[in-house]
Homo-oligomer: A and B are copies of this chain.
């Protein structure tokens, strides 16, 4: 019947990593994403393949089947709706909701999630600016660019971030780089995308890695 907590996490990890080249996700990439061993991943890939949730060939990596994709997308939907609830209704902060939503997304009930969606007013984006898939798995694309891509003189509004690790979000919060803030790029190093920018009359430096995870809506 239903999948285990662990199986669900594997599907979600594969979906997250599917943005890469050919759509084939490597064993090692999944192991890194889930902080587990490659051997464990191999075992699980066989299992998910037997259930026709992924296409898997030995040594060649895995990709989601349409059913696997459906399930993984539903998990993303649940995760992001819960994040909206935690921030919007309970007043929790941007950087503390991810881990809790990571647990809440596994609660099994279609009725629950549709009621929650309605209660929240059918939001299209979560507090990090990521789009929330609807019940059919479709979602709205947002016109956004990673901060690391902006060139000197360009400016825009902070929409959200791609990464959702607590430590990273906390770091941004401390710097004041929260959604809605206006930024203007002063310099963008051609080699490593180190960024210098203006945020509310203060100047700020960011590494290319950090800047690559901050999404901006150009103005």
Q: Which residues of A pack against B, CB within 8 Å?
A: 86, 89-92, 96, 99-100, 103-104, 106-109, 111-112, 115-116, 119
Contact = CB atoms under 8 A, between A and B. Distances in A.
B92 A111 contact: yes
11 contacts: A89-B89, A89-B119, A90-B112, A90-B115, A91-B115, A91-B119, A92-B112, A92-B115, A100-B107, A100-B112, A104-B104
Nearest to A99: B109
User: 7 tightest CB-CB pairs across the interface, nearest first?
Assistant: A90-B115, A103-B107, A100-B109, A90-B119, A100-B112, A89-B119, A92-B115
Dominant SS among interface residues on chain A = helix
A119 to B, nearest CB: 5
Contacts of A119: 89-91
Contacts of A112: 86, 90, 92, 100
Contacts of A91: 115, 119
A108 B116 CA distance: 20
In this complex, the member of A89, A106, A112, A115 whose beta carbon has the largest number of chain B beta carbons within 10 angstroms is: A112
A111 B96 contact: yes
Given A90-B119, A99-B109, A100-B109, 13 more contacts: A89-B119, A90-B112, A90-B116, A91-B115, A91-B119, A92-B111, A92-B112, A92-B115, A100-B107, A103-B106, A103-B107, A104-B104, A104-B107
